Amino acid sequence: GDSVTQMEGPVTLSEEAFLTINCTYTATGYPSLFWYVQYPGEGLQLLLKATKADDKGSNKGFEATYRKETTSFHLEKGSVQVSDSAVYFCALRGGGSYIPTFGRGTSLIVHP
């Protein structure tokens, strides 16, 4: 079945550092790929998505590129802020399905 593997956290960075959170997936067909963010005590918010190979999703300075050859969708940001501290979930959704498959989440802690 479909699965998503994320790097284990927590990831601890200083403000303005470069961020990479790795995500790889296993799926049949051509899934859509997502990054969600969960701030403390809140639900999930869609951060960005990509629906086909080589698409780049971007939002709020975050980017991720759908790499079919490496089955990856790594999240990057050039300069993190304290306000980016949250848990980030990588997810995929197969064609014709409502239900995403989530990774375990990666906690990001940014220090001033």
Partner 1 sequence: GAVVSQHPSRVICKSGTSVKIECRSLDFQATTMFWYRQFPKQSLMLMATSNEGSKATYEQGVEKDKFLINHASLTLSTLTVTSAHPEDSSFYICSATGTGDYEQYFGPGTRLTVT
Binding site for partner 1 (CB under 8 A): 36, 41-46, 89, 93, 96-100, 102-105, 107
Closer Cβ to partner 1, 98 or 112, answer by number: 98
Q: How many CB atoms lie within 10 A of CB 86?
A: 20
Closer Cβ to partner 1, 3 or 79, answer by number: 3
Nearest approach in angstroms of CB 78 to partner 1 is 27
Nearest approach in angstroms of CB 42 to partner 1 is 5
C-alpha to C-alpha distance for 50 and 57, rounded to whole angstroms: 5
Nearest approach in angstroms of CB 93 to partner 1 is 7
